[in-house]
Structure 1
Amino acid sequence: MTPDPIPRRKLADAVFDRLEQMITSGEMRPGDEMPSERVLMERFGVGRPAIREAMQALAGKGLVAISHGERARVLQVTAQSIFRQVDLTAKIMLSQSDDGLENLKSARIFFERGMAREAAAKTTAQDLDDLAAIIAHQRAMIGRPEDFIAADMAFHARIARISGNPIFSAVSEAMLAWLRAYHMHLLIWAGNESVTLDEHEGILACLAARDADRAEAAMRDHLERARALYSKEKS
């Protein structure tokens, strides 16, 4: 039989598991300082390099924050922080494949149609006022491409927040951030600003009427038109 040895684990990996367990078990809570390197070295019987490598791995996963000259501090894990961990990977994937960008646009349309339905059922007067204010701000940003795009994305992110579900909000913000990696030349130069604003007004009207079917249809039509405005040329 051909030998199939089990590789020995790096000390840093074992230390990582112990530190992760301290956090997931509640021994260390969000906002707590992690024990000093010396305390951890004595507790686990390992050297400083293993502690530092494990701590850097925790930081890379968004579990702790490391500041020079201070102890690492446990972070509150949120839906937003989870998606930030894959932000770079997602942008690389999109830059390497036309299919990846098209799939993201399709996923966004599917997702935001659902968000429009959810918002139509749950929207409040404050939500409607906030969305109207975003549209007014976006209108004032005509001629300022980056600010106009930022307001456009703020409108869609605000609709997702109406759900009250932080995971929905995080998904919306992540997809919008990934799409923003691609400059939307045609949105400005083809004179489509007024069309975008009119469509936003139409979506808002459907939400105000609490008409889920019309809100979904308005969002679908808006995004189907807009999907062609995302160019693969980087800004």
Structure 2
Amino acid sequence: MTEQRIRREAVSDQLFTLLRDRVLSGALAPGTALTAERDLAAEFGVNRHAVREAVKRLQQAGLVEVSHGGRTRVLDWRRRAGLDLALQLAQSDGLSTSYDLSRDILEMRASIGADAARLCAARCTERTASEIVGAAAAYAHRGPDLADLAAADVAWWRLIVEGSENIAYLLAFNTLVADRFTAGEVPVELRATELLDMAGHMKLAALIASRDEKGAEAAARALLARSVPAAHPTREPEGGPA
């Protein structure tokens, strides 16, 4: 029996976190049966209601599957979980993983941003295009405080993503800039090259206003990709360098 015990407040939340981390770390491998409800209750010193609530959350997160007979099987989260799991990973302290979430988030950000810029050039209204150009011009006169630039950068990109008229991109954008998405909040000093690229912001705005879809996509990707290598060096293969 483990010596780890659950604090009495938010018992089911704490148990969910512990079981989730077992799944994500591989301690509970895909296809294996989750420990029986009564055994989990005994292991952590909690009641079975707390266990049921924790398992329900695991099921909602796409981490386990509960059969009609009551047997709970661990799923492959890489195939079944959704973006909401990234929020949980961002808030998970001390979970050892074989991937770098910050890098992965920044790569997704660059990809979404590039395509959103392309769509914005094709779809946005003249008024929105004018607002994007005006915001870029105002941005060029901000600074040098990086935190201030980062806030202005988010507001500018919101205009572009909204101008793409793609609701899925907009919802993803909201997730990426949410305060609670700590893994996505790369320290601004690591994004300094991107944030201080005033010419890059102005160029992208001009390309959107001129309806240059391919140019806007390329400029957006180049601008956003500036933060990816700064925040995450190339990952070595498992087992270390050759």
TM-score normalised per structure 2: 0.52
Q: How many Å separate the matches in 2 of 1:115 and 1:123?
A: 11
Residues 1:203 and 2:204 aligned together: yes
Residue 92 (structure 1) aligns with:
91
**Contact 1:118/1:212, CA 8 A, preserved across alignment:** yes
Alpha carbons of 1:86 and 1:230: their partners in 2 closer, same or farther (altered >3 Å)?
same
Deviation per CA, 1:39-90, whole angstroms, max 9, x where unpaired? Answer: xxxxxxxxxxx9xxx9xx9xxx9xxxxxxxxxxxxxxxxxxxxx99667414
**Contact 2:191/2:226, CA 8 A, preserved across alignment:** no
Residues 1:181 and 2:185 aligned together: yes
Question: What aligned pairs does 1:25-36 form with structure 2 within 5 A after superposition?
Answer: none
**Contact 2:123/2:163, CA 8 A, preserved across alignment:** yes
Deviation at 1:219, TM superposition (A): 1.0
Question: What aligned pairs does 1:98-117 form with structure 2 within 5 A after superposition?
Answer: 99-117=100-118
Residue 221 (structure 2) aligns with:
220
Task: Structure 2 unaligned segments of length 5 or more: list them.
Answer: 1-48, 61-81, 234-242
Deviation per CA, 1:15-46, whole angstroms, max 9, x where unpaired? Answer: xxxxxxxxxxxxxxxxxxxxxxxxxxxxxxxx
Query: Which of the pair has more CA radius of gyration?
Result: 1
Deviation at 1:95, TM superposition (A): 8.1
Residue type matched to 1:91 in 2? A
Alpha carbons of 1:99 and 1:162: their partners in 2 closer, same or farther (altered >3 Å)?
same
Q: How many Å separate the matches in 2 of 1:133 and 1:87?
A: 34
Q: How many Å separate the matches in 2 of 1:215 and 1:134?
A: 16
Alpha carbons of 1:185 and 1:95: their partners in 2 closer, same or farther (altered >3 Å)?
farther
Residue 156 (structure 1) aligns with:
157
Q: How many Å separate the matches in 2 of 1:94 and 1:175?
A: 19
**Contact 2:130/2:209, CA 8 A, preserved across alignment:** no
136-145 vs 118-127, which moves further: 136-145
Alpha carbons of 1:94 and 1:203: their partners in 2 closer, same or farther (altered >3 Å)?
farther
Deviation at 1:229, TM superposition (A): 4.0
**Which one has a larger percent helix, Structure 1 or Structure 2?**
1
Deviation at 1:168, TM superposition (A): 1.8
166-175 vs 85-94, which moves further: 85-94
Residue type matched to 1:92 in 2? Q
Does the residue aligned with 1:134 lie in a helix, a strand or coil? Answer: helix
Residue 123 (structure 1) aligns with:
124
Deviation per CA, 1:160-184, whole angstroms, max 9, x where unpaired? Answer: 1112233221111212333652212
Q: How many Å separate the matches in 1 of 2:225 and 2:152?
A: 19
Question: Alignment RMSD, CA only?
Answer: 3.5
Residue type matched to 2:103 in 1? E
Q: How many Å separate the matches in 2 of 1:231 and 1:141?
A: 27
Task: Structure 1 unaligned segments of length 5 or more: list them.
Answer: 1-49, 62-82
Q: How many Å separate the matches in 2 of 1:169 and 1:135?
A: 20
**Contact 2:118/2:217, CA 8 A, preserved across alignment:** yes
Alpha carbons of 1:108 and 1:85: their partners in 2 closer, same or farther (altered >3 Å)?
closer
Does the residue aligned with 2:226 lie in a helix, a strand or coil? Answer: helix
Deviation at 1:228, TM superposition (A): 3.2
Q: Moved runs in structure 1, 4+ residues, more than 4 A?
A: 83-88, 93-98
Q: How many Å separate the matches in 1 of 2:189 and 2:138?
A: 20
Alpha carbons of 1:85 and 1:108: their partners in 2 closer, same or farther (altered >3 Å)?
closer
Alpha carbons of 1:133 and 1:209: their partners in 2 closer, same or farther (altered >3 Å)?
closer
Q: How many Å separate the matches in 2 of 1:173 and 1:182?
A: 16
Residue type matched to 2:113 in 1? E
Q: How many Å separate the matches in 1 of 2:185 and 2:137?
A: 25
